[in-house]
Structure 1
């Protein structure tokens, strides 16, 4: 049953562009706007407050670049390795990349609705984004060496990914500079960045999903498990750790959402810019695309569950961050 499905998926990838040139240009452009908006939402005061009480930042850093790559690796070994290598290895590249990218701006929205610590959420998103230029290639190289045997035709081009990340950090810095000189324009750009982050998901649902329906219906369940499980388990594990060390519940919710909600648009942009000439780009894109679609559903249910917390009782607990 699985082999015909994989053959069908590979046939679809070979017959059509999973992402058209127009979609590639649009998606990369959206990512630049989203990253610019991320930077435009920051002021020096935000960094001062974060450094004054860095517990959340430290825990978020450990969960973001420690737990998420490890989860991606374990899910790949447990599920994708059940599939034929010609399918599993390209898909594994996208899955591992999805686990190694920084947090996404969507986490800020869900943190707000889940009654979390929005200020902590924003600074954690930016902190992980700035660290990504070092940590994403590092953890990719570490786990990539375990997944891809030496001499394998498929390898992760670490140098190209570093260049791509450096390029995508330029709008973040530009947004921070703009906010420094014009707080009003910076605020508008921050709102636009959040809007385009949501538009990215709507775009995938409205155009990419219908056009690639044959590919999605022929994708094995193991691939869906990896894409959905990465976000779900990431939120659960990070939240459990934060609660175990007795952080304030609002901060624990924030750390959980910040950890599990990865920057799907950034992962897709890295694939499009780094693997543009690869014949396997369609398979590499599957997990980042599925993750970007399903994380909204996962985060919505998690937010509903978080909102059931007894906020009256929480007010009696001193806020640690």
Structure 2
């Protein structure tokens, strides 16, 4: 379980991560996004069309307890995480598009996350307290706004804030490894293989489908790689935060299993995918015309 100190530390980390995301934005980014509704549509469809459906299928096809199924759905309904921006950079993808998709899915998540959770939780006859989730999501928009203001006031401060926000997203994984996992080791040993399969499969299948979707739309390979990574790499810290502030006791521990395992394994999955993408980054590809989409 997560203690009071860890809850406070987690809340602080989420605040800084979202602050960094906001610091990466300017009003011009929103203007450019609105000029490219096609790109916004791809981001929304990838995050809130494919991923929740993948989560629904995993929760339906795998034999898992109700609490694990809830964890799968919550993780699948999360927006893109800032970690995807880092892997997009190393995959030689389109970093501008990556940031645009992350921000779009985060902002629209205030509406889309409760909607898709309601849809799939009802289909699986699961009870998820959506009111707490909505409140948490609304509050998370505050640091995004503060980050944008910092960027507007001082570009250097904004750049530093953006860097720390992205770095803290990776630090979150280390935090889980040294804090949550050792104290819940027995719980993880007793966790079924189906739970591990769901945690790993969610990211791997998401990246694959997102990439295939982008290629089917005939996007430039750089953009296709970006869409794939953005689709499969969800905001794990946000999922854990929502669970911590929504559920209690042993129920929270069980629901948290998939998001925690996902956050750990997605680094491995994304690293393997990044190596594959880099090998595919041929000279011929670089000669192809490129754009934001």
Name the TM-score class by shorter chain.
over 0.9
Q: Which runs of 5+ in 2 are unaligned?
A: none
Correspondence for 1:238: 210
Distance in 2 between residues matched to 1:134 and 1:207, nearest whole Å: 32
| More off after superposition, 55-64 vs 162-171 | 55-64
RMSD: 1.3
The SS at the match of 2:245 is helix
In structure 1, what is the equivalent of residue 166 of structure 2? 194
Deviations 1:93-150, CA, capped at 9 Å, x for gaps: 11100010100000000000000000110111111100000000000000000112xx
Q: 1:126 aligns with which of 91, 103, 123?
A: 103
Report Cα offsets for 1:143-172 as digits up to 9, x if no partner. Answer: 000112xxxxx6111111111110111111
Q: Determine the structure 1 residue equivalent to 2:246.
A: 274
Larger radius of gyration: 1
Q: CA deviation at 1:257?
A: 0.4
Q: Where in structure 1 are there 5+ consecutive unaligned residues? A: 1-17, 149-153
- TM-fit CA distance, 1:279: 4.3
User: Structure 2: how far apart are the matches of 1:267 and 1:202?
Assistant: 16
1:1-321 → structure 2 map (5 Å cutoff)? 18-79=1-62, 82-83=63-64, 88-148=65-125, 155-275=127-247, 277=248, 279-321=250-292
TM-score norm. by structure 1 comes to 0.88
Cα distance in 2 for partners of 1:278, 1:210 equals 17
Output the CA distance in 1 between the equivalents of 2:151 and 2:14: 19
Residue pair 1:101, 1:136 contacting (<8 A) in 2 also? yes
Per the alignment, in what secondary structure is the counterpart of residue 42 of structure 1? coil
State the number of aligned residues: 292
Runs of 4+ in 1 over 4 A off after TM superposition: none
In 1, are the aligned partners of 2:56 and 2:120 still within 8 Å (CA)? yes
Give the TM-score taking structure 2 as reference length. 0.96
Equivalent-residue separation in structure 1 for 2:118 and 2:77 (angstroms): 10
Distance 1:134 1:311 in 2: 40
Aligned partners of 1:140, 1:306: CA distance in 2, in Å?
A: 32
Kept after mapping to 2: 8 A contact 1:247/1:320? no
